[in-house]
Amino acid sequence: MAITIDQYRALQPKTTKYRNKITLVDGIRFDSKAEAKRWIKLRELYHQGVITKLGRQPKYPFHLHGKLMFTYIADFKYTDVHTGIEIIEDVKGVKTPIYNLKKKIIQEMYGFTITEVK
């Protein structure tokens, strides 16, 4: 049985805006292979006792004049055991102007540095 071009296109996997590949690790969905790989590495460091309080997708809201303007969602958050410093990480392939602006605002508002991992 022949199919139409529209039916064929519907069967093809959708491409993402930045060509990232959605990846599953232990049933957890990650937006890219790079993010999934970083999770695996951070999980190893957690089990080795190098980091603690490992978490995914911490949210940081930005309010202006009592209105929620946006919520910045980082990829990972953890604490370095040796320094006691809390690390906020974002795995980045493409840094958009919107991301750069949100990063500056959130860093200033919350008083931390967002660590970018390629």
3 in a structural domain: no
For the stretch 8-36, pLDDT in tens is 566 655 656 666 788 888 889 998 999 99
**In terms of pLDDT, which residue wins out, 7 or 48?**
48
Query: Is 113's pLDDT higher than 90?
Result: yes
**Average pLDDT of the residues in 70-78:** 97
4 in a structural domain: no
61 in a structural domain: yes
Task: Provide the CATH number for the domain around residue 92.
Answer: 3.40.1350.10
What mean pLDDT value characterizes the chain?
90
51 in a structural domain: yes
**In terms of pLDDT, which residue wins out, 81 or 11?**
81
Four-residue CA torsion sign, 94, 97, 99, 104:
positive
Q: Which of 18, 22, 110 is nearest to 63 (CA)?
A: 110
79 in a structural domain: yes
How far apart CA 57 and CA 18 sit, in angstroms, is 19
6 in a structural domain: no
Domain that holds residue 76: 18-117
CA distances in angstroms from 17 to 12, 23, 31, 103, 107, listed in the order given: 16, 15, 11, 20, 26
Predicted local distance difference test score (pLDDT) of residue 63: 97
44 in a structural domain: yes
98 in a structural domain: yes
Domain count within the chain = 1
